[in-house]
């Protein structure tokens, strides 16, 4: 049995380890919490930040907007959804996604996925 508590005082935001030159910042929770069967991250997107369009091959994902507003482009038809704080999005595996912050304020969202597989297919290198 075990647990990890991450209060705002002990969260460390930095560019993702797999893209160290990225303007986006992340708290890589699996590095401090011993997650074996799932993974999660707390993302901070500065104004104008954009991720890469991709899909997870086997992972289900849940996104919760904590602060600010993000735009998610979802599915093969690239349907856009503008999401404010408290919005929740649930994705099935192999659902294409692109996340952007089109505002002039930072945005914060929590992403959770299971199983803990990093198998992603990149559809857009931007």
Looking up tokens 């990225």, which residue turns up?
Answer: 22
Residue 53: CB atoms within 10 A of its CB come to: 17
3-state SS of 9-32 is: HHCCCECCCCCCCCCCEEECHHHH
What global pTM score does this model have?
0.90
Shortest CA distance to 100 belongs to which of 124, 71, 63?
71
- CA distances (Å), 110 to each of 77, 98, 125, in order? 24, 15, 22
Q: CA-CA distance, 126 to 120, in Å (whole number)? A: 15
Q: Are 92 and 60 in contact (CB under 8 A)?
A: yes
Q: Which CATH architecture has domain 22-110?
A: Sandwich (2.60)
Dump pLDDT digits (tens) for 33-86.
Answer: 778 899 899 999 999 999 999 999 999 999 999 999 999 999 999 999 999 999
pLDDT score of 2? 81
DSSP state of 87: -
Q: What is the mean pLDDT of residues 92-99?
A: 97
Domain ranges of the chain: 22-110
């Amino acid at each position: 049995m075990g647990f990890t508590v991450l209060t705002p005082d002990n969260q460390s935001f930095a560019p993702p380890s797999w893209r160290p030159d990225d303007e986006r910042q992340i708290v890589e929770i699996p590095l401090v919490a011993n997650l074996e069967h799932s993974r999660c991250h707390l993302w901070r997107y500065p104004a104008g930040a954009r991720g890469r369009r991709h899909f997870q091959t086997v992972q289900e994902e849940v996104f919760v907007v904590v602060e600010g507003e993000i735009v998610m482009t979802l599915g093969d038809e690239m349907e856009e959804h503008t999401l404010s704080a408290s919005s929740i999005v649930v994705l099935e595996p192999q659902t294409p996604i692109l996340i952007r912050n089109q505002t002039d304020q930072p945005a914060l969202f929590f992403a959770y996925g299971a199983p803990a597989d990093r198998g992603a297919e990149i559809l857009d290198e931007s």
